[in-house]
Homo-oligomer: A and B are copies of this chain.
Amino acid sequence: MRISQLSEATGVPIPTIKYYLREGLLPPGEQVSATRSVYGAPHVRRLRLIRALLEVGKLPISAIRAVIEAVEDESKGVHEMLGTAHYALSPKTEPEDTPEWADARAMVDELIRERGWRVDPAAPGRDELAQTIVTLRRLDQQVTLPDLRPYAAAVGGLVRDHEMSRIPFDGPRESAIEAHVIGTVLYGRVLDVVRRLAEESESARLLADADGLPK
């Protein structure tokens, strides 16, 4: 297909496609004359992936470039490739050199260890969770390992039994990583909203009768 048809098929404007070509995020089409190239299904897939990283993952172009490089480096296994996208989605956390921080980080490591999770010692989520614990404690909320365990247990089952099965591992690398990014971000949003709905319901169950509101 021509660039105009690629634009129609994906909804990505032609100037944006040209920008991705210049930046090397999209491989060049097959040159059929001095002024014309044609594009195929791999270009459609790549544009879908870029759109997912940009619009769903809200990633900057530099992070998208890193993910695309991992997709193109076929010497990288699928786990490593998915990890590149996954880490790019995690906010960067700057560890503090304080005893409070060290204590929170040790608790995170212990949580992961006791669940038997295979998580890289340098995974950004470890510091992000430590940071959240430090913030809670500075707001005078007590946080201990038993407070975290139910969260780990709840999502552990969810991820094992439901999330990974949504990733198509038997197709092109682009499709696996696109599904992984969409699932991580959007099912994260599902989890967050459903939790707030459950909170409203539980508050109603516990308090509305006392408040004299209708059941």
Contact = CB atoms under 8 A, between A and B. Distances in A.
B192 A192 contact: yes
A174 B41 CA distance: 58
A91 B150 CA distance: 26
B187 A162 contact: no
What's the interface size class on A, roughly? 35 or more
> Copies per complex?
2
B118 A82 contact: no
Nearest to A90: B196
B204 A125 contact: no
A61 to B, nearest CB: 20
Contact of A117 (B52, B111, B182, B198): B198
Given A139-B56, A158-B150, A161-B150, A82 B195 contact: no
A201 B118 contact: yes
Q: Which of A125, A193, A206 has the most CB of B within 10 A?
A: A193
Contacts of A160: 198, 202
A30 interface: no
A211 B129 contact: no
A66 interface: no
Nearest to A189: B132
Interface in A193-215: 193-208, 210-213, 215
A26 interface: no
A201 B52 CA distance: 23
A160 B166 CA distance: 28
15 contacts: A77-B213, A79-B206, A79-B213, A89-B196, A90-B196, A115-B201, A117-B200, A119-B204, A139-B186, A155-B195, A156-B198, A164-B206, A169-B207, A188-B192, A188-B195
